[in-house]
Amino acid sequence: MRSYIKEKVDAFRYENKNRARLLINCADQPGIVAAVSQFLYEHDANIIESNQYSTDPEGGEFFIRVEFELPGLKDKVEKLESDFQEIREQFGMQATFKYVDQIKKMAIFVSKEPHCLLELLWEWQSGDLLADISMVISNHETSREMVESLGIPYYYIPANKDIRKEVEEKQIQLLKEHGIDIIVLARYMQILTPHFVETFKNQIINIHHSFLPAFIGAKPYERAYNRGVKLIGATSHYVTNDLDEGPIIEQDISRVDHRDNAEAMKKIGQSVERSVLSRAVKWHLEDRIIVYGNKTIVF
């Protein structure tokens, strides 16, 4: 399996060795698109895809994602970024170049329920989730055999609120040693400390049910069933120090009715969770998300 995935990744890297993405946000003002387009033209780049959004043409915030092809890109990166500094300063931009052949290294955190982990692993095996899944970290042994059968390292690190600091020190050390770019909480049922969150700011993606702020705490599906809800949903978001209140990336819903008991609702909810988390992770890997305050712009 590893060799098949490596072949897919190697082919993707080769096909995209000259492709990059430019993500920008700044105060909206005339001339931004023209300046960026002219800059890329003067550097022999061909724009493949361009998406932009303004919160308000008069005094709002402007966002743009440009994907472009530039022959011999690897030898031109330093000059490209250096030359762009003038435009960055002219418009007061926050601007980041992302290089498509640099596959992001991912760590997945999971507890007992494996449904979100399974979805990510399936997408990865099929070649539809282009990431280097460097490790799975869990406070349970439940998923070890499944993960290790795919050649992915599995780290069992027991965790609870009494040893949280020591646990996170081990986790942070592992993540830094492996140069992890993105952390996915695939139903990891532990609260992260502010230190952990700040260490990986806008790099941690979580999934939870969308009953919130209703049915907070244990057994949400049982309480939702007792309340007679008609919609079940899921939300994927970046993790911040405000529990389950970080910038939302993706959401979805599914209808239920009086014939669905609590267990049926949970199964429907898990299905929604899987698809929502998968889409959010893919968009992050494809550099389609710009975080702005407590919101996201998703291109």
Q: Express each pLDDT in 24-53 by its tens digit.
A: 999 999 999 999 999 999 999 999 999 999
- pLDDT tens digit string along 116-162? 999 999 999 999 999 999 999 999 999 999 999 999 999 999 998 88
Q: Does domain 17-99 have CATH number 3.30.450.20?
A: no
Residue 244 annotated as catalytic: yes
Residue 167 has pLDDT above 90, yes or no: yes
Spatial distance between the Cα atoms of 299 and 133, rounded to a whole number of angstroms: 24
Q: Please state, rounded to an integer, the average pLDDT across all residues of the chain.
A: 95
pLDDT score of 129: 95
pLDDT tier for residue 292 given thresholds of 50, 70 and 90: very high
pLDDT score of 1: 61
Q: Rank 216-220, 231-235, 281-285 by mean pLDDT and report only the highest.
A: 281-285
Strand order in the sheet with 61-69: 46-54, 61-69, 19-27, 94-99
pLDDT score of 254: 96
Q: Which CATH superfamily is domain 105-298 in?
A: Formyl transferase, N-terminal domain (3.40.50.170)
Buried b (16+ CB within 10 A) or exposed e, 68-90: bbbeebeebeeebeeebeebeee
Tokens of 14: 């080769």
- pLDDT tens digit string along 49-102? 999 999 998 889 999 999 999 999 999 999 999 999 999 999 999 999 999 999
pLDDT tier for residue 16 given thresholds of 50, 70 and 90: very high
**225 membership: H or E segment, kind and range:** helix 220-227
Side-chain-side CA neighbours of 51 within 13 Å: the count stands at 11
What share of the chain in percent tops pLDDT 70? 99
Pick the catalytic residue from 244, 257, 260, 287.
244
Residue 256 has pLDDT above 80, yes or no: yes
Domain ranges of the chain: 17-99, 105-298
pLDDT tier for residue 14 given thresholds of 50, 70 and 90: very high
